[in-house]
Amino acid sequence: MNEAHHGLRGWLLSDAPQSRLQARAAALYLGWLAFRANPLAMLGLAILVLLFAVAVFAPWLAPHDPFAQDLANRLQPIGTEGHLLGTDSLGRDILSRLIHGARITLYIVGLVALIAPLAGLLVGTVSGYAGGWIDMILMRITDIFLAFPRLVLALAFVAALGAGIENAILAISLTAWPPYARIARAETLTIRKSDYISAIRLQGAGPLRIITRQIWPLCISSLIVRVTLDMAGIILAAAGLGFLGLGAQPPSPEWGAMISEGRRFILDHWWVATMPGLAIFTVSLAFNLLGDGLRDVLDPKSEK
């Protein structure tokens, strides 16, 4: 077993890779070693892995039905028998609602992380590669979106589309793509003038092939870093919409909606709003720590 381990490690750390697969595997392994050396980044990764596990196994981990009301046991304090984190104003178990709320958080983050970067990547690379009037129009549209505060613009979109978690995800995505477009455009402007792009163009490659096969792969690392650093903002935006009643609708155990429901009791029954607030804080911090670690690994400009 040890010999196999050393053999694999030697293969990954070889100075002269024999194939493209070996070179890519070696790059990933070296990146993992650099990431693993950052204890705060590993802490963020551990928290997010735990969040994912909690979301997957929520029906088995939750001690109570998150929707079950028990008015006889409403506003029970922390540590009450059978309710580790207490109960809310309708007697629902807060811990169970937090556990099931992790699913909603990951659902929102996952969809926004798919929609916004892809839209930004498409707009940014087309703008940077085409140039001219196409670049001017696309960047002026991007500037218009950037001119508004994200949450205010999301509120406007949700007000137009209607309350609901899907509309909230769409609204957050519509406000989140401009920074990715800026990053992709900057990368494209640098890449398109390189010699190897000129050589590919001389071989007969069209703009679509150059953008999708040559430019997009080189933009991915910058976008990954930006996505992880933006996750905290996405969670806070979703929680803000839920707090205002424009996101996930009752009785959904969304963390922002839970804070909104508990704000009426913040002085006498502080745990009702504090527990989901701590959950949002912890997950947001984990994404920031993970993003900082990935930036150190993936962004060559950050090397000291």
Measured in residues, the chain has a length of 304
What are residue 83's DSSP bridge partners? 80
Q: Global pTM?
A: 0.84
HSE of 3, CA atoms in CB hemisphere, 13 A: 0
What percent of the chain clears pLDDT 70, i.e. is strictly above it? 91
Instruction: For residue 86, give every residue at least 6 positions away whose Cβ sits within 8 Å of its Cβ, in sequence order, or none.
Output: 75, 76, 77, 78, 79, 80, 94, 269, 271, 272, 275
Q: Is the pLDDT of residue 4 over 50?
A: no
| Burial environment of residue 255 by CB neighbours within 10 A (0 to 12, 13 to 18, 19 or more) | buried
Note the pLDDT tens digit of each residue in 88-145: 888 899 999 999 999 998 898 889 989 999 999 999 999 988 888 988 999 999 999 8
DSSP character for 93?
B
Structure confidence at residue 49 as a pLDDT band (50, 70, 90): very high
Helix intervals (H) in the chain: 2-12, 20-36, 39-56, 58-61, 94-130, 132-146, 150-161, 165-191, 195-202, 207-210, 216-243, 255-262, 271-298
Answer yes or no: is pLDDT of 20 > 80: no
Which residue bears the tokens 């207490």?
A: 86
- In percent, the amount of the chain with pLDDT more than 90 equals 25
- 90 with 71: CB under 8 angstroms? yes
Q: Which 3 state secondary structure label does DSSP give 72?
A: helix
Mean pLDDT computed over 282-303: 81
**What's the CA angle centered on 34, arms 30 and 37, to 5 degrees?**
140
Beta bridge partners of 80: 83
Cα 199 versus chain centre, distance: 37
Q: What is the pLDDT of residues 210-234, one digit of tens each?
A: 888 888 888 888 888 888 888 888 8
What pLDDT, in 10s, does the model give residues 244-284? 888 878 788 889 888 888 888 888 888 888 999 999 999 99
Question: Domains of the chain, with CATH numbers?
Answer: 43-302 (1.10.3720.10)
Average pLDDT value over all residues in the chain? 84
Q: Give me the phi and psi of 149, to 5 degrees please.
A: -60, 140
